[in-house]
Structure formats: C-alpha cells, structure tokens
Amino acid sequence: MANRTVLGIESSCDETSAAVVRLSDGALTVLSCHTADQNDLHRTYKGVVPEIASRAHVESIIGVIRCALREADTSLEQIDAIAAGNRPGLIGSLLVGTSAAKALAWARSIPFVGVDHVVAHLTAALLDGDPLDAPAIGLVASGGHTSLFRMNSPLDVELIGATVDDAAGEAFDKAAAILDLGYPGGARLDELAQSGDESLVSLPITDLKGLDFSFSGVKTALSLAAKNPPHGATTADLAASLRHAVVAQLVRKLQQAMEVAPVRSCVIGGGVAANRLLRREVEALCARYGVALRIAAPRWCTDNAAMIAAAGAFRVDQGERDGWDLVALPHSSVARGHRGRPIRSR
C-alpha cells in the first residue's frame, strides 16, 4: 500500500480548517491541522448565522490552508490529493471549502475527493492510531447528528440508528442556553457538571424501541426543572443531571447494538465525544464487553480538517476520485440528522 499525503479542507459550519494527513499501511498520521473558529462572530446571536459563516470562510480559507501546509513543513507540490467535506452542512459554507479544494486540485492536476462529514467524524477516532479492527460499532454524536453505524471498514458503514428529533450536541447546547451558560454551551455545561450532583434532579432517560435516539424530552424536562429546582438544586446539579440523562441514553444504545451483533471495536466521534462523562462510561462499557475502544482524541472531536483528510485518504487509496461537478449537499448520504430527516443518497 502506497503512502498518501492528503490535504483536507473542512468548512461545513463555522470552523474553517485545513490539515495534512498521511495514510501509510492503513495507519493515519496527522502532519498538521489549522482551524479558525468564528465563535466571536456568532456569539451575539447564540447560534451560527449561515450568511455570516460563509463570508468568514471566504476571508480565512486561503490563510488557513497556507498555515496547514507550513505547519506540515510541506508544499502543494508534495500533496497527492485534496479532500473537502462536501456534505452535510450549511450550503454556503460547504461551497467555500469544496470550491477551494477543487480549484487547488485542478491547478495541480491531482485527485479531488468529496467526503461525508458524518463519516469523517468516525475516521477522527483513527487518527494517529492503529488501523481499524472491524467489524465495529460506530457512534457519531455531534451538534447536528446522533447516528449509530455498523462498520465493516472506515468508509463502509451502515446506519442502524439515529435521533428522531434533536441531536445529542443540540440537547447540550439548548440546555446550556436554558441554564444561561453562554455560547458555545456544550463544553461549558460539561465543565459545570463536574461539580454538580445528578442525584438531586431526576430527568428522563429516553429509551425508544430499537436503536433510535430522542433528546427533545430531556431538554423540556430540564427547562421545567430549571424554573422550579427541586431540593434547592444548583445550576451545577441541573447540568450534571442533563449530562447524565444524555450520556446514559447514548451508552444504553451502544450496549444494545453490541448485543445485537458482537463487534471487535467501538468507534466514537463528534463534538459530544469530548464529554468527560461519556468518555468514562464508554470506557467501562467496552471493558465489560471486551471491545477495543477507539474514541476520538478531544482535539479531533469537534469539527476539524484532519478527519476530512483522513476519510479522503481512504477514498484515494481505493482508487476513487470525484469530478469537478461534485456538488455541496445539505444532507449526509449515510445518516439521519436534525429532526430525523430520512437518509438521502447522492
């Protein structure tokens, strides 16, 4: 298997990111990753404003790519292929990264590949580690998606469960807004929950039939509890309860999936994979089932281009490339997203 050095570009939402990743004998090494966030631009609105996001991507993308190449001590001439996340995401944002990747690949006459951002969140767990030991169960828990996959290889994945309403990250963000923790809220809620006592506030752990998730009920329950906190519970206690209820549901479905069909590995990615309680709980679960845990390192959980470059490298390694007519799409080709949207294929 040849060495592949791939430049990846991520611009699906509000992070502009570029990375250089090398794939060698099935193992991925991150040579660089440079990310510009836009939190300061969106904070006032307590959420991402698509038009502001796409304009900010245009302004920063070239600088971000230059930084990634410099950090990797390489140049465009030494890159074998260019990958961009072309789905799912905000169309205006996706177009910036996808167009930049196409233009650079065309100028250098090297392969261009589009990558599904949700699948790339799974490959984030394989960065700087051993090749995947399949079959595996995969969980992506992010701000837009909560999806369970059966994985035969890093890119050969089958959707077996997904949220029917809010995503897990969305539940964290909405809860953080209810508790007035600022923007972006998921990580702040996690931090505050560290000092809280979840036993003081009881929130429902939703358990749908099968492997689907639902997080809108727990958010409503939190909002009611916050208006009238029981037993003098503090904001930290409310945060701890919310975190416990969301994590318990994620872990329960992972466990059910492992029982339906045994796996060798459990792969976890997406912003919520940074959650400290989730990391502890899945470690214990995998130890009980004798399954290798591959959870993304905290820096690769939230959106980054290293995971895009990695997924792109796997595609290029299989001899795949996309045409210049590849379009940006709002939906994933393998996952249901916000409010249980059905699977759409390209």
Residues engaged in binding ligand KG4 (CB under 6 A) = 142-144, 169-170, 172-173, 184-187, 190, 270-272, 274-275, 302-303
How far is residue 320's CA from residue 314's CA, in Å, rounded to a whole number?
9
CB of 127 to ligand KG4, least distance (A): 14
At its nearest, how many Å lie between ligand KG4 and the CB of residue 276?
A: 7
Toward Zn ion, which CB reaches closer, 5 or 35?
A: 35
Rounded CA gap, 287 and 295, in Å? 13
List residues bridging with 162 in a β-sheet: 147
Q: Kindly state the smallest distance separating residue 118's Cβ from ligand KG4, in Å.
A: 8
d(CA 109, CA 301): 32
Task: Provide the edge-to-edge strand list for the sheet that holds 27-37.
Answer: 27-37, 15-24, 4-10, 81-87, 112-116
Q: Which is nearer to ligand KG4, 3 or 194 (CB)?
A: 194
7 touches, from ligand KG4, Zn ion, none (C-beta below 5 to 8 Å by class): none
The string of DSSP letters for 158-170 reads EEEEEBSSS-HHH
Of residues 124 and 316, the one with the C-beta less far from ligand KG4 = 124
Looking up tokens 């631009």 gives 41
Nearer to Zn ion, 321 or 341 (CB): 341
Q: Are 130 and 136 in contact (CB under 8 A)?
A: no
- Residue 279: CB minimum distance to Zn ion, A: 18
Dihedral angle sign, alpha carbons of residues 138, 144, 146, 149: negative
Q: Report in angstroms how near the CB of residue 12 gets to ligand KG4 at its nearest.
A: 7
Compare residues 76 and 343 and give the one whose CB is closer to Zn ion.
Answer: 343
| Amino acid letter for position 12 | S
Q: What is the C-alpha to C-alpha distance for residues 96 and 36, in angstroms, rounded to an integer?
A: 14
Characterize the bridge pairing of strands 27-37 and 81-87: unpaired
Nearer to ligand KG4, 185 or 196 (CB): 185
Q: How far is the CB of 124 from ligand KG4 (least distance, A)?
A: 9
Q: Are 29 and 74 in contact (CB under 8 A)?
A: no
DSSP for 146-159 reads EEEEEESSSS-EEE
